[in-house]
Amino acid sequence: MAATRIELWRGEEYEVRDVTGSASTKSYRCPGCQQLIRPAAPHVVAWPVVPSLLTSFTGSGVDERRHWHTHCWKRR
Ligand SMILES: [Zn+2]
């Protein structure tokens, strides 16, 4: 499993992990451009370090994972 790093988005700290194409079998909607990320396309996954109120009852910020194109995350 790849290591995560901490980056900022909208003033919040997010854990970010690179996803290699071979580990990706589904398509996801990128919040940066609203386009689909194709299966097997390398991309990044980000989730808040501090869970929002919506998910603080159910567990962790991992429930709020979002998949981004790598270039969209860099330009967020
Ligand atoms: Zn995108």
pLDDT at 32: 95
User: Dihedral angle at the C-alpha atoms of 15, 52, 69, 33, nearest 10 degrees?
Assistant: -150
pLDDT at 64: 83
**68, burial (CB in 10 Å: exposed 0-12, middle 13-18, buried 19+):** buried
Give tens-digit pLDDT for 22-71. Answer: 877 889 999 999 999 999 999 999 998 887 766 555 666 667 899 999 99
Pair of tokens at residue 37: 């990320």
Q: Predicted confidence band at 21 (pLDDT cuts at 50, 70, 90)?
A: confident
Helix (H) or strand (E) run with residue 73 in it: helix 70-74
**Alpha carbon of 75 to ligand 1 centroid (Å):** 9
pLDDT at 16: 96
Residue ranges with CB less than 5 Å from ion ligand 1: 30, 32-33, 69, 72
**Alpha carbon of 17 to ligand 1 centroid (Å):** 16
**Alpha carbon of 31 to ligand 1 centroid (Å):** 7
